Amino acid sequence: MQRQVLYPFAGVALLLLGLYVLRDVLLPFVVGAALAYLLDPLADRLQRFGLGRLGATILILTLFVLVLGLVLIIAVPIAVQQVVKFAEQVPGYVARLQALLAEHGGPILREFGGEEALGQIQRSLGDLVGQGANWVTTFVRSIWSGSQAVIGVLSIFVVTPVVAFYLLVDWDRMIATIDGWVPPRNRPTVRRLGHEMDGAVSGFVRGQTAVCIFLGVFYATGLALVGLNFGILIGLFAGLISFIPYVGSLTGLLLSVGVALVQFLPDWSMVLATIGVFFVGQFIEGNILSPKLVGASAGLHPVWVMFALLAFGSLFGFLGLLLAVPVAAMIGVLTRFAIERYQESPLFLDGDPKVGPPETTLLPVSKKAEV
């Protein structure tokens, strides 16, 4: 039992060590493997329709490269232009927010704390915005430098399609080969763990990707209809980072409300309409999209996902963001397996020999502890 529990964790530890040592050259290979993993079900479906594996791979990757190229040619220049304009106007927005605070909140603050309290809050607001901008800049710079230490961006577009092509063609064969390496007596357990890992990763990644796309389009459309400056940019950004639970919507809400206060006051109805866009989006996500598309099968708690994304992004850069959810899912499955084995062991069932077996009246502990 100890070997069955320790070997998988040792394998994950060696995997993380290898990733850390080779983090500067692995990015195009990891991206290619991720594409092959995500597109393998589509290739299997095309095979069932009579198309060969090679033909299905060529068709899928050709369409993917064409769509990606169109997005890069059309969307990226527009997004960069909007980001530059927004960055130029951030100082003006901050100054205007400070002025609005002094205008609308000044009498109340003076009554309770005097001019000193008002000045302190204004300075705190400026410091908070500045620290937030510095944190974002530092985080983006760390991701960029970590992923570009040895290889350039062009290598991703050159190496990644080649890696994805060969992996997608040989995916089923590789899985069968790895399965053949496992000792026959351990194959049922390893297959079960592999199936649970695959379900956790695919369920979360595919479902959360669909949720992010919907939220990005919804927020961008809603803010554009409200008439918010940079509404499309803020909405798409909020949807994109919604991969980190709650962070995307909260960030988009704060940005949009700040812009709305500067743009629409004294018309509070438009500010409330801006807030309403995010409340409606969160209601749709929490009650319709996430239960249907992500569900509970992933077995990943939102706090665990946030920790994994931030920790792996800090350690491995952009590579870590790609690997955070899969590795977190693997660790979650292995942890549930270890707890399951522990609850089946004499150490848990028999209790302390000096005390005797545990009372049968105790409530049973669930074997599926969520990680």
Each residue of 58-72: pLDDT tens digit? 999 899 888 888 877
Check whether 306 has a pLDDT greater than 50: yes
For 316-345, how does the pLDDT look when each residue is reduced to its tens digit (9 = 90+)? 777 777 788 788 888 888 888 888 888 887
Check whether 186 has a pLDDT greater than 70: yes
Which pLDDT score is estimated for 298? 57
Rg (CA), the chain: 25
Asked whether the beta carbons of 208 and 321 are under 8 A apart, the reply is no
Task: Average the pLDDT over 175-188 and give the result.
Answer: 87
Task: Average the pLDDT over 149-169 and give the result.
Answer: 73
258's enclosing H/E stretch is helix 247-264
- Characterise 293 by phi-psi region: left (phi > 0), alpha (psi -120 to 50), beta (else): alpha
Which pLDDT score is estimated for 225? 92
Task: Average the pLDDT over 99-107 and give the result.
Answer: 65
Check whether 110 has a pLDDT greater than 50: yes
**Ramachandran angles phi, psi of 361, nearest 5°:** -85, -10
Band of pLDDT at residue 114, cut at 50, 70 and 90: low
Asked whether the beta carbons of 28 and 155 are under 8 A apart, the reply is yes
C-alpha pair distances (Å), 129 with each of 95, 126, 353: 11, 5, 60
pTM of the model: 0.69
Task: Return the residue matching tokens 């209790």.
Answer: 351
The set of residues, in sequence order, having a beta carbon less than 8 Å from that of 34 and lying 6+ positions away, is: 322
Which pLDDT score is estimated for 134? 57
Encoded amino acid at 177, one letter: T
d(CA 153, CA 277): 36
Which pLDDT score is estimated for 320? 78
Which pLDDT score is estimated for 222? 92
d(CA 197, CA 166): 23
Q: Per this entry, what is the length of the chain? A: 371
Task: Average the pLDDT over 103-123 and give the result.
Answer: 58
CA dihedral 29, 30, 35, 37 (to 10 degrees): 110
Encoded amino acid at 265, one letter: L
Task: Average the pLDDT over 28-53 and give the result.
Answer: 86
Check whether 301 has a pLDDT greater than 60: yes
d(CA 251, CA 237): 9
Which pLDDT score is estimated for 351? 55
Minimum mean pLDDT range among 39-48, 84-93, 104-113 = 104-113
Q: Is the dihedral of CA 249, 250, 253, 259 positive or negative?
A: negative
More confident residue, 115 or 242: 242
Check whether 285 has a pLDDT greater than 70: yes
C-alpha pair distances (Å), 120 with each of 117, 130, 197, 240: 5, 15, 51, 35
**Ramachandran angles phi, psi of 205, nearest 5°:** -65, -50
Band of pLDDT at residue 366, cut at 50, 70 and 90: very low
